[in-house]
Structure 1
C-alpha cells in the first residue's frame, strides 16, 4: 500500500463526496454532445498479455485471519500480546469456564515458534468467540476440530461443542480423551444442527491434575476446493471469478516494515518484517507476527497456501520479498552485509521452494507439504514503495544479480516508490531504466478526477524500456463514480498493453468490522461477502480482455477549464505548528486579507473539525500533535489570481505543516504539504471530493523550531511556490477530466471485436460507431454497468451489477450509452 495519510483523509471525508468536480477544473459539458467512434478493424495494435489483469493480496483490513483464511478460532495459539496491539492479551477471544485458565511461556511449549499455551486446572474449560460477531455456522455443515494437548492426569476427558452466544448447544458434543504428558494432536468433526452468526466454541475438560492446550483450531469442511487449512470458499470464489492472470502477495507495506526491521531477532520473536520461511511447514510450528497494520498475523495462510491458491485459480504467482529498505512512510536502510546476504539467500531458497526438484533441499520441503510438482514461478518482486531510491536500488541490484546468476529465467521486478510522480519516482525510474530492469512496479491511489485526467499516462512511455507492473492502484472511495473513473483509466491501460504488462487493483479484501483502508475490491463479514462497484468493473475487464488491441479513435467532450478559485487555509497532520503574518494580495497588489494574530482568530473557520487551534503570543497555534487534518480556512471562495504569504513554524510532532489555497470546502482544495509522510518528503496535493492526488513533490523536510517563509502565487491555473524566497516549484493544473473513453480489442478465439465504452457523466452519450470494411453479425452482445455515481454495493443491495442484452449492429450503427455507465459490446465478425 502507499500514501497512507491521504487515503485516511479521503476515508474521513467520504460522506462529503458529492461528485467529480474539484477544487481545480470546472468543466462545462454540453448535454447534447454526440460522439463518434471509428474502428480500424483491419489494423493491429498491441498484443495483450494473457495475464494483464491480476489481483493483489495484502493482509490489511483483517483480510487473512478471520477472512480469506478459513480458520474460525481467534487467537488459536494464545500468542496475542499487548506488544502486537494495546487491546490484546494472551486470552483475547477466550472466556474462562472454570479451572483458572492462564497462558504460560516456558520449556513445556509446543514448539519454539509457538511459545505460549493454555494451562487449566482440572476440571475446567474455555470458550472462544471467533472473529467479528462470533463463529458462523450453517445448518447441516461439518466443522473439523483439531487441538494439541497434554495432561498430568492418567486420562483426561475432553468435551468440545459449538453453541450460540447464550450457550445453547448447536452440535452434539465431541468427546475426546487426552493421554500422556507429551503433546499430541486430537481431532474430530462437529455438525451444526442450526445456523448462527454468533456461535461459540466450548472446550471443557474433566478429571484431576492440569491440562495444557494449544493450537485450538476449527475449520469448515467446506473450504475452497475442500483443501485442509484452506481458504474461505465464498471469498476465494469471488477472487477466482475474476479469472486473474496473477496473484501478487503477501504485500504491500507488511513485507518490508517490521518494527524490528534489520534486527536479527530469534525466529520466534514478533514484529519482524515478513519472511517467507516463517510461514511454511506444519501450522503449529509457524511463527506469529505483529502485522504492520496493527494486529496479529498467524501465518496459517503462508507461502505454500499462496502458491497453491494461485495454481488453483489458474493465476501466475508473484511474490514480493523485502529489500532491507523500509517503505510506506518509513526511511531506514539496513547496512549489515551478513543480514543482506542472508535475505538474498532466503530469496534464492524461495525460488527453489517454488520450482526446485523434489531432491533439492527446498523442493523437498514443498513436496513434504503435499506438492511435489513445481509451482512454476516466473516473476518475483524485490521491495515495495521504498522512499530511499539510491539505498533501495543498491540492495535491489545485489538481489537481482544473485537471482539472475542462478535463475536467469526469473523476471526480477523493481519498483518506483510510493507515488505516481515526484523525485523518488523519477530517480527510481532512471535507475531501473539505466540498469535494464525488465519490469518496474508503480503504485498510486488518486482521486476519480485524476484517473479521468490521466488516461494517456502511458502513451508516451518508452516502448523499448522496462515494462510497467501497475501493482497497486485505485480511485479513493468505493462509490460507482470511482469505478467509472477506474474503468475509463483501464481503456488507456489496454491501449498501452505493450507498455503495461501487469495491473492489479488494491486492496483486494476488507472486513467491514476492521476497515483500515478504503477503497477495497471485495467486502465481507463473518458470514457474507459482496463485490464493490469497482469489483464489477474489474470483473468485466478481466473476463473480456481480448487478445490484441484494435486501433480506434473517438471524439471528445467539449470542456472549459476555469481558473483556480477559492479561499486560503492552514493545517497540520500529527504535528503541532504555529502560523503568523498571513497575507493575501491580488495579482495587482491589492490587499485582500491580512492577519498577524495580534487579536483573535475569529476570521478563521474550522473545515476538518480536528485539532486545537488558538492564538498564542501573536501566533495562530495548532497544539494537538496527534490530530490529523486540522484544516481551517479564511477568505472568499471566489478569490482568484492572488498571492498568499505566511510564516510557519513546526513546534513538535511527526510531520511539518500544510498551507492550503483554492479552498472551496472540506473535500475540495489544494495544499502545499511540507514535511509530509513522516517528514520524508513534500508535495502539492489536490483534493477532489475528499480524495487526493499529487501534482508536484520533492524531498524537502522541515526542522522543528525553525520559521519558514512561504509564498504561493496563483495565476489562472498556474501556481508558483517559494520557500524562504527561493523558487520551490511550479505547475499548471490544466489536465482535462475526459468522461467519455473507449478502447477496442479482438478476441481471437471467437473473432469478436470487443468495444468497451465508459460514459462517466450525467448525460447519455449518443454515439455513432463506424466499422469500415467489416462484415459484422447483425446482433451483438451487450454487458452494461449503470447506476447513480454515489451508488455503493453492500451486503443487502448491489445496485451496480452487470446486465446482459442484445444490440442490432451494422458496419455503421448508433447507440446511446447511458449516463454513468460502462458498456461492453461484443460484435461478431465474418470472414470476407
Structure 2
C-alpha cells in the first residue's frame, strides 16, 4: 500500500495576488492508481438502531427560499409593504412599475385609516384622470415577480385583489405579458363596485410559455381606486393546495424522503425584537413569531427578514405543518428563547414578555394537536385541517451565544411544556459552533439539566468533516441525544459532498447517540442568495440538485434499520509540516500593522517590512482599503469583511512571525495569517472575532474555515498597540500576545479518505454496504462478510462518482447516481471502489 499525502486543497508554489490557480485532478481512467483496503463485516451481529427520524430537512427563509421560492405566489411585494428597513434599496413600490394604456394618473402607496386592516397597513391608491378617450384606456401598474414570471402555455393562473372605489364602478383589466409587452393571455376584466374593501378574483390561461412574464393591472375611468394584496397564483401547486407551494421545489424535498422538517429557522427565529406586532407603532424587525403567520393571508403582517429582504408570511405555520404532513415528515418547529443569536448577543430581561412567549409555545401545541373546540385547535380547523397534525417535538432557541441566559429561559419553557404536554420532546441547542467554550458550557448545562435532545450546528471546511468522522464515538451514551440540525461543508463541489458523505457514515455508526440530522440551508435562488453552500438551487422556472443533495438522498433512502458492526483498514497518510507565507487582515475593522518580521527557527531573517518603502511586497484578495498611514500598513475601511493581504513564500516551514498591530475602529480585531498558500488557504489567528467577543485559530481551505483552536474570550481594544508572535514548528503552533503565551495547538488530525458503514434493511433482509472513497486513487477492497449469513451472488450498486471539483448547475449535472448490478458477491469477495466516489451495495442475505 503506497503512502500518500491527503488531498486538502492546499498547494505549493510562489504566492501571487489573489488565489493560486490550481489544475483540478482528473477523474480516474482504467489505469488509475489503486490502494488496497480490507473491510470486515460481522453480518450476524447487530449494532445501534437507526431511528426513523435520522434524516430530515431544515427549511429557513434564506436565499429567498420562501417568497420567490417554495411559496408559489408569483407577484413580488403584493401588499406594498416593502421598506428600507427590509433592505436599503426597497420602497413600497419595489417590484412594480407604472404603465399607461392610453390614459394617465398617479400611483401612491399610503398608510392611513382607509387601510385593508391593521396588520396590512399599506395600500396602493390610483388616482385616475379619465383622459383616455376610449373604453379600453387605463392607467395602472405591472409586476414581473422575481426576475420575471414563469408562465406555461395552457396553464391557469388565479388572480385576486382586494379593492375599493369611489365610483359606481371601476374596471380593472388584468393582462399577462412577455418582456416586450406582448399579451400572453386573454385579458381578465373585473368590476370594482364597492366603496368597502372587497376581494375580486378570476383566472387567466397562458397561451404561450415564457420565463420573463409580467402581470399588468390597469384601472379604467376616472376617480380613485384602492388596491391591496394583488396576487397571481399558479393553479398547479404541490398537492393542489390553495395558498400552496411550487411543485418542483416541494417535490425535490419530498424525493429526499425526509423524516422531519425543521422550520422556520434559523437566524430568523431569534433575531430582532421579541415584541409582538401591535399597530400602529409596530416593530419592523421582529423575531419570527408563529401567531403572526396563521389565519387569512391578508391579515398576516409582513416582517423584515434577517437575511436582508421582506418576508410576507404567506408561507406560515399552517402551511409548514401541512407540507410536513404531505411528505410524511414529522414537523419540528423552532421557537425564540428571548436570547438573540446570529451575532446579536442580547438577552431580553422582561419576565412578562418571557411568560407571553411561553404561553405562545403552549398555544402552538394546541394549534397543532388540540381539539377543534379549543381556541387554537379551532383556528386550525377553520383553516381547513380539523384533524391534529401530530406534533411531537418543539425546539426552543437557535445558536444563542449567551449560555447561562439562554438555558435559564429554556428551563422555564421546558417546565411549562412538560407540565401541560408531557408527551412533547423539548429540544435545546449548543450554540453556533462545533467546539469551544460556549459549546462546552451549553453541553454542560444541557447534560446537568437532563435535557432530552441537543441541537448542534456547524459549517466547516471539507477537511474538517474528513477528520471528524469519529466525532460522536466518545459522546456520553447516557447523556442527551444529538440532533444535528444544521451542517454543511463550505462549498457545493463534489469534494464537499464526498466529505459530508464520509461524515454521515460516522453519524450512522453512532446512531445510538445521533437521532436526527439535516443539512442546511435547503434552498437558494440562483441570482439572489445570502449563503453558500445550499442543497437545492432554483430560478423562476427550474430547480436542480447540488452534489450534496445527491449524497443526502442516497443516505436517506438507503438508511436501513440497524447498524451492522464493520471495520475497515485505513490509509497511510504522510503529514508534512505546516508551510506557507504570512498575512494581515481585518473583518469589519480598521487596523494598522507595522514591523513585520519572519525568522527561521535558527534565527535567519526570511522577511522584514517596516513599510518605510511602501507595501509592494504584499498582495491581497481585493477587499478593503490598504494604504500606508504614518509609516504603517493600514486597512482603513471598517465596513468591509475578509480584507486580507499576504506576502512571503509558500515553502516556508519552522519560522517565527512577529509584528505590531493597532485597532483603529470597527467591530472586531485582527486576523494574523500564517501557513498561507493563497488568500483562500491559510491558518489565521482571529483575535477579537465574532463581534469582539472571543478569539480563536481557524484553518481556511479554499475559502472555507474551520476551528483548530477555540481559544478564549480575548477581546481587542481600540488605540492600543499589541505585540503579536506566531511560532510554527512542524505541525505545532504557539501563539504569544504581548509576550505571554496565549495558546498552542498541533494540527495532526488525519483526514481519512476511506470510510464505511454497514446497515441492515430488516424489511428486505439486505445488507447495505456504504463506502466513501474521497481520494484520487481507486480503493481495491477485500470484503469479508463472515459466515453468519448466507448472501446472494448479486448486489444492486448505486454510485456517485466524478471530478471532485465538479458542481451541478442549471445546465449541467455531472454528479448523478448510477445504478447497476454486481455479480461477484460472496461471503468473501473483492470490489474496487472508484476514486472520488460514494458507493452503496445492497446485498441480499438469508440467515
TM-score, normalised to structure 1's length? Answer: 0.95
> What do you get for the CA RMSD once the two structures are aligned?
1.7
> Which of the numbers 310, 330, 336 marks the counterpart of 1:296?
310
Deviation, structure 1 residue 612? 1.9
* Equivalent residues of 1:577, 1:650 under 8 A apart: yes
Once the two structures are superposed, the pairs formed by residues 626-775 of structure 1 within 5 Å of their partners are: 626-697=639-710, 698-773=712-787, 774-775=789-790
State the distance in 2 between where 1:766 and 1:607 align.
43
Deviation, structure 1 residue 811? 0.9
> Which of the numbers 55, 76, 79 marks the counterpart of 1:77?
79
Q: Deviations over 1:125-159 (max 9, x none)?
A: 43333333211111111111111111111122222
1:180 corresponds in structure 2 to: 194
> Which of the numbers 782, 805, 824 marks the counterpart of 1:790?
805
State the distance in 2 between where 1:650 and 1:206 align.
62
State the distance in 1 between where 2:166 and 2:402 align.
55
* Equivalent residues of 1:14, 1:477 under 8 A apart: no
1:409/1:826 CA distance change after superposition, 3 Å:
same
State the distance in 2 between where 1:424 and 1:262 align.
27
1:9 corresponds in structure 2 to: none
1:27 corresponds in structure 2 to: none
Instruction: Confirm or deny that 1:567 pairs with 2:581.
Output: yes
SS of match in other structure, 1:685: strand
SS of match in other structure, 2:486: strand
Gaps of 5+ in 2: 1-16, 26-31, 131-137
* Equivalent residues of 2:18, 2:619 under 8 A apart: no
SS of match in other structure, 1:126: strand
Deviation, structure 1 residue 19? 6.7
1:806 corresponds in structure 2 to: 821
1:257 corresponds in structure 2 to: 271
Once the two structures are superposed, the pairs formed by residues 120-199 of structure 1 within 5 Å of their partners are: 120-122=126-128, 123=130, 124-199=138-213
1:511 corresponds in structure 2 to: 525
Q: Deviations over 1:249-296 (max 9, x none)?
A: 0011111112x4558864854211111111000000001001000001
Deviation, structure 1 residue 16? 6.1
* Equivalent residues of 2:18, 2:622 under 8 A apart: no
Instruction: Confirm or deny that 1:229 pairs with 2:235.
Output: no
State the distance in 2 between where 1:432 and 1:327 align.
18
State the distance in 1 between where 2:317 and 2:628 align.
55
> Which of the numbers 572, 587, 590 marks the counterpart of 1:576?
590
Moved more, 665-674 or 695-704: 695-704
TM-score, normalised to structure 2's length? Answer: 0.93
Q: Deviations over 1:149-187 (max 9, x none)?
A: 111111222221211112211111112111111111111
SS of match in other structure, 1:743: strand
* Equivalent residues of 2:579, 2:653 under 8 A apart: yes
Deviation, structure 1 residue 827? 0.3
State the distance in 2 between where 1:593 and 1:413 align.
53
2:133 corresponds in structure 1 to: none
SS of match in other structure, 2:207: coil
SS of match in other structure, 2:106: coil
Q: Deviations over 1:223-257 (max 9, x none)?
A: 00000000000000000000001000001111111
Instruction: Confirm or deny that 1:435 pairs with 2:458.
Output: no
1:683/1:263 CA distance change after superposition, 3 Å:
farther
SS of match in other structure, 1:101: strand
Moved more, 130-139 or 277-286: 130-139
1:613 corresponds in structure 2 to: 626
Instruction: Confirm or deny that 1:40 pairs with 2:42.
Output: yes
1:18/1:722 CA distance change after superposition, 3 Å:
farther
Deviation, structure 1 residue 391? 1.4
Once the two structures are superposed, the pairs formed by residues 467-486 of structure 1 within 5 Å of their partners are: 467-486=481-500
1:319/1:18 CA distance change after superposition, 3 Å:
farther
1:448 corresponds in structure 2 to: 462
State the distance in 2 between where 1:825 and 1:320 align.
37
State the distance in 1 between where 2:531 and 2:650 align.
31
Deviation, structure 1 residue 711? 1.7
> Which of the numbers 754, 772, 792 marks the counterpart of 1:777?
792
Deviation, structure 1 residue 680? 2.0
How many residues get paired?
809
